[in-house]
Structure 1
Amino acid sequence: MRASHADRERAVDVLKAGFAEGRLAQAEYEQRMSRAYQAQTHTELQMLVADLPQGPVPQAQFAPRPMMPAVPATFLPMQMPMPQPTNGAATGSLVCGLIAPFTWGLTSIPAVILGHKARAEIRRTGQRGDGQAVAGLVLGWLGIGAWALFFLVMALIAVSRG
């Protein structure tokens, strides 16, 4: 069966633990690490860690030990955090900024307002979409700047004519 990136990372964690415990020499550790990142199948990964403990090593129960988790976090399956949703105001800001040229710049102001609102919410909640908010802000300010330039040119033309 083909190995996934997560499978490779778990094998690398076992190798790191083996090296930290003194079970692997530096050169062997580095060689196994490079082979782990290049491994394509589960069999290749298993061969790299077969001679290393892949969990806690049983120890004599002569002295009481402090309370510890049953399995160190290194050997637990990786728990991927749930991705944060994308902020809706950031998406709205980007959309308003993108359609501004087609609406004669009328959506530039909402793009700026939504962009600032989205960035504040993203900082507060940790949601995704900061890049969208910044893009919406830039496009919105460019649209506002284009309108300001247009009115300035029109004013200069009116002053020069009369």
Structure 2
Amino acid sequence: MRAGDSDRQDVADKLKIALNEGRLDLNEYDERVQKAYAARTYGDLDGLLDDLPGTIPVQRAQVQPHHPPTPVQQPHAVSRGGRPGVAPAFGAFLLCTLIWAITSWTSGEAHYFWPAWVLIPVVIALLAHFSDKGKRHQ
């Protein structure tokens, strides 16, 4: 069958897209465009787009569509006691208390007990744990 101007232009447009995407170098593009505009039949247009993605019918395509993986639910960080976040916060409190005790002991006087501020996350984590546990048992 005879190819029309719109058929030749369609092939040339697809070749231009391939050139812009870096799939063809300038020499390949020029050679194929010349063949496309010189084509008299659909047979003359065959082969000009076959090695370019998106130009092969889906039934013949070897590339499979991308399906993003489903996100995996990460478990919450849970300490050995089953309380999320309590163990690390309590460990930080103990470390700060040790530092406070050493500095107080070496200076010979008791300083303001600033590690109490580090207890705030421990208390919040415990309250969250127990309020969540109470909701589950209702």
Is TM more than 0.5 here?
Answer: no
Question: Shorter-chain TM-score: what band?
Answer: 0.3 to 0.5
User: TM-score w.r.t. structure 1 length?
Assistant: 0.35
User: TM-score w.r.t. structure 2 length?
Assistant: 0.40
Between structure 1 and structure 2, the one with the greater Rg is 2
Q: Which has the higher helix share?
A: 1
